[in-house]
Structure 1
Amino acid sequence: MPGVQGTGQVGPAQAGVERRTAHFMVALRLSSSFAGGVAALLGATLAQRPGLAVACGAGLMVWGGAFSLLVLTRGPRTGFVVGDVAVTAVLCLLHRQLVPDEVLGASAGTGWVDIVASSAVFLVQFGARQPFGTVATGCVVAAYVLGAPGWREAPAVLVLQGLLAAALVGLLRREARAADRGLAAQAEAAARAAAQSATRADERDQQRRLHDTVLATLTMVGAGGITGPSPVLARRAAADLAVIESLATGGPDSGRARLDVALRAAVQALRPGLPQLRVDFAVPPCELPRRAVAAIAQSAQEALTNIARHAGTASARIESRRTESGVRVEIGDEGRGFDVAAVPAQRRGLNESVRGRMAAAGGGAEIDSRPGGGTRVRLWWPDGR
């Protein structure tokens, strides 16, 4: 907050305390100025100088309104707080001329000047930093003693009010700073966790892409699936190198893309050393966010590779449809099938290249298979439209 509150950056807790402080100052100054001004006008005929009492009462109400408007629009700046202390000090110095003698002889706090002085002592603690608040309280007390000489309880009460208000404000601000430090620590921890999660997600995505391309090709070569020069292997190796380059440079992840086109490319992808698949393709035109299309197409390509490698069949099918909740894609075969529960956890083909990839894109996948009953790989993505 500007002025006496300082111009440094503050946290949300401190900002909240300062906003409520400004509202409290406005409420206190308005109520005390109105009450004091009305009392001054009503008792002006009994004062030593009635005309001065009327002028001071009316001026007090005007100042209360101006002070409140300035604080609400610009915050409790130093000048506003100093001005309030100055107005209060002037009223205290004129105390004997503004109130009847009976009021001066009564106990502390019965006159309208006492109300104004008491509120000023509170305001300066809430609207200023220390030691300015303590110095300003001393000025108000000194003016009160000079304006109403003789033994009175009011100066002692004003000092006590100032000390209590200063302690309360100090406690509020200290707790607000502690709360902001706690919030900052939580935000920093959350940012670190998000960065680590993003790093792990990127690593898993790179591992999936390497598994589906480079490692798959090397596995075929190492298993003896290719025994001589092969144009298909050369083209597949070139595609694998392109994948490695994309991992280093990154690729576009924004905009939308055609899911049917991407799935057609997955069907036609090269699988050196594996039998050719005859794929029944039933995918209508469909456009989705590019990230979802990439995840679905890559997962489908991995599913087709697994069919060619393990299912013992030369045919498969792939179909998709829109639902009320999004898009669903199914890749299936009538091959030998397998026991899903018996697949080791360290096998990355299903766990990462299908389930993990879809989960990372905000979708999901399930594998339904049994020995002798074929396999169904179901992918889905919730289209936010």
Structure 2
Amino acid sequence: MELIEKDRRRLLQRAARAFGLSGVALTAFCLALPGVVDADLLPTVLMLLAGQAAALVMVGRSGHLGWVALSIVLGCAVIALAQLPWGQPSSLALATSLAPLGAAGLGGVGLVLSESTGRWVLWAVGTLASSMLVATAGPTSGLISTAAIATLAGWVITLIIGLWVTVGVQRAVRRNENIGRAHQLERQASETEAQRRQGARLLHDTVLATLTLLAHSGVGVSADALRQQAGEDARLLRQLRLGSTPMPRFSGVYSLEPVGETPLGTTLESVKQRFLRMGLSVRWHGTGQVLLPSDVLDAFLLALAECLENVRRHAGVEDADVTITQNDEVIRAVVTDAGVGFDPAAVGTERLGFTESVVARLHDVGGSARVFSTPGAGTTVVLEVPR
């Protein structure tokens, strides 16, 4: 906002300077022609014009009201002095020479007089004084009307231009502010939705999984393993209640300490031990130590753990195979079981476990998930994340 306002003022100040200097230069050239103004007065008139030009230069630099007022006073003094001695016949050449000074040399400052009451008053005084002085310089008919109207028109036109620029900039600023507020609200809504989805995934992967075990009386799981998992889930809920954002170091254990890069091999061993306690034997194949950024590793491990949890709960088998491979661009995990399988097309959209805990989670870090399954022929899930 402040930068735009500063640019607007600078634009109007420089335009007023350019417009005013052009009028001063043209009037100085015309007055210097023989016979237009008394030869004894010409040096003084030119000195006053030089002073007005200097004041206009300062208007272009600072726009201070004092320099604007000085420019108007000096310009009016030139118009009055050029008509001396008073009482001599009106001169068409003099009126023609002074018209550029009144319309541009003086009227140009109207560009910077549209911002406050004080500037409006100065504009009115300058318009009235310069128009009347120019009107007295010419003959009683003909060009006198044209010179006075030209001076008045110069003041009015520059004021209108200044108002137009000011109003246009204000509208643009308001529009930018509205866009900024809308963007901020959209960003906040996106962040809130992302937090909600993250919380839903964590609850689905931990607390709801534990409650499902309890609902089935912990079949296939030792009491110690069930007790340990319930304790971890209770700790997670306490962190969520206190407003923290748990960051999983590996499936089933959450920590508030962020990790820059973590070896994949050590965390895979933790996943293996967890599901071994839960009654699912996982055979691991492929790569050993691989460093991944913490956010990518979190998404990869939690998605992998959710796939193994689905095997344990739905496949009807007690073992699964996980093959980890890598290249220069991606880390890939293939989870395979020889269980009952299912038809992926028949899974309803209301089943958010795989969609949110696997597909959406990997998508958030630039990864992907694909599932291949046929009823009675087992299931294969391919997970990929960028390195």
2:273 corresponding residue in structure 1: 268
Candidates 103, 107, 124, aligned match of 2:109: 124
1:349 corresponding residue in structure 2: 353
Q: Which amino acid aligns with 1:53?
A: L
The 2-side partners of 1:23 and 1:253 are apart by 57
Candidates 277, 284, 294, aligned match of 1:279: 284
The 2-side partners of 1:212 and 1:170 are apart by 62
- Give deviations 1:169-212, integer Å, cap 9, x for gaps: 33343333233323322222221121111111101100000000
The 2-side partners of 1:125 and 1:253 are apart by 63
Preserved CA contact (<8 Å) 1:299 1:358 = yes
Question: Mean Cα displacement is larger for which, 199-208 or 149-158?
Answer: 149-158
Preserved CA contact (<8 Å) 1:320 1:328 = yes
Preserved CA contact (<8 Å) 2:112 2:162 = no
TM-score (norm 2): 0.80
Candidates 172, 176, 179, aligned match of 1:183: 176
Answer yes or no: is 1:26 the counterpart of 2:13: no
2:127 corresponding residue in structure 1: 137
Q: Secondary structure at the match of 1:269?
A: helix
Candidates 244, 250, 272, aligned match of 1:249: 244
The 2-side partners of 1:314 and 1:163 are apart by 89
1:6 corresponding residue in structure 2: none
Q: Compute the displacement of 1:150 (Å).
A: 5.6
Candidates 194, 205, 214, aligned match of 2:198: 205
2:331 corresponding residue in structure 1: 328
2:43 corresponding residue in structure 1: 54
The 1-side partners of 2:148 and 2:52 are apart by 23
Q: RMSD across aligned C-alpha pairs, in angstroms?
A: 3.3
Question: Mean Cα displacement is larger for which, 194-203 or 79-88?
Answer: 79-88
The 2-side partners of 1:208 and 1:179 are apart by 43
What is the identity percentage for the equivalent residue pairs of Structure 1 and Structure 2? 19
Q: Where in structure 1 are there 5+ consecutive unaligned residues?
A: 1-8
Cα 1:270/1:339, change in 2 over 3 Å: same
Answer yes or no: is 1:93 the counterpart of 2:80: yes
- Give deviations 1:324-349, integer Å, cap 9, x for gaps: xx433323214234322222211122
The 2-side partners of 1:367 and 1:350 are apart by 11
Cα 1:300/1:273, change in 2 over 3 Å: closer
2:249 corresponding residue in structure 1: none
Q: Which amino acid aligns with 1:250?
A: T
TM-score (norm 1): 0.80
The 1-side partners of 2:382 and 2:99 are apart by 83
Q: Compute the displacement of 1:16 (Å).
A: 5.2
Cα 1:119/1:229, change in 2 over 3 Å: same
Q: Which amino acid aligns with 1:46?
A: G
2:381 corresponding residue in structure 1: 376
The 2-side partners of 1:49 and 1:249 are apart by 87
Cα 1:47/1:294, change in 2 over 3 Å: same
Q: Which amino acid aligns with 1:343?
A: V
Q: Secondary structure at the match of 1:46?
A: coil
The 1-side partners of 2:138 and 2:336 are apart by 102
Preserved CA contact (<8 Å) 1:124 1:136 = no
2:253 corresponding residue in structure 1: none
Question: Mean Cα displacement is larger for which, 194-203 or 145-154?
Answer: 145-154
Question: Mean Cα displacement is larger for which, 50-59 or 231-240?
Answer: 50-59
The 1-side partners of 2:82 and 2:365 are apart by 74
